[in-house]
Amino acid sequence: MLLLVGLGNPGSQHARNRHNIGFMAADAIHARHGFAPWRHRFRSEVSEGRFDGAKCLLMKPQTFMNNSGEAVAAAARFFKIPAGDVVVIHDEVDLPPGKTRMKAGGGAAGHNGLKSITAAMGDTYRRLRIGVGHPGRREAVPNYVLHDFAKADRDWIDPLLDAIAEHMPLLVTGADSTFANRLHEATTTGQPVKGAKPPPGKAPAGTSEDKGPLARGLRRLLGR
């Protein structure tokens, strides 16, 4: 049985916070895979479902972030779920917005939800880290993660949540690396970064070099 935990804070005032990306992912998984209606158990909202026949308990702790471990450890003990079958989805300020990493074990990197879970059940559980960016100053992080995403962030949040939900069954079989690769493929458009400089020796399309007589002659010669 897989225990899949999305981290966040309860209440409508926190629903769009960067800190709540774990809750957003849990909701996307719940909707995509037709899990049972949410119910209250283990001081959490929980829902049961299956991935390719394998049972999964989806959880959104309602203890507030700093006490998430109380809820996660209670569910893991009740169902006798080993730490290797616990996957925690959380925000990560040390990754750029939209970047993801799968990791098993390790430190909490200052994340209070992870600190609480580690204190309650050790640090060998698996984590899906979702980058939300960094405000630039360490002391600004608490205020930053407790504020809403910008409207422009929907451009990467929606496709990423869709990809997480679609490929989540891979985690049941322990195919964490394949899962991570699928997320990367689904969220990489191949488009140039806005404001990026062109490669050396290549003028940006639409510039005078692109429209000069030599360029036009070459296009005619090459059939472009």
Instruction: Show which residues are catalytic.
Output: 19
* Farthest CA pair distance, the chain: 75
- Residue 151 neighbours by CB under 8 Å, 6+ apart: none
Look up residue 161 and give its two tokens. Answer: 């949540």
For residue 9, give the DSSP letter. Answer: -
Residue 132's closest CA among 16, 21, 29? 21
Give the bridge partners for 25, in sequence order.
Answer: none
- CB count within 10 Å of CB 161 equals 20
Locus of tokens 């140039």: 192
> Under a CB-based contact definition with an 8 Å cutoff, are residues 21 and 38 in contact?
no
The Cα angle at residue 59 between residues 56 and 60, in degrees rounded to 5? 160
Q: What type of residue sits at position 180?
A: A
**88 phi, psi to nearest 5 deg:** -110, 125
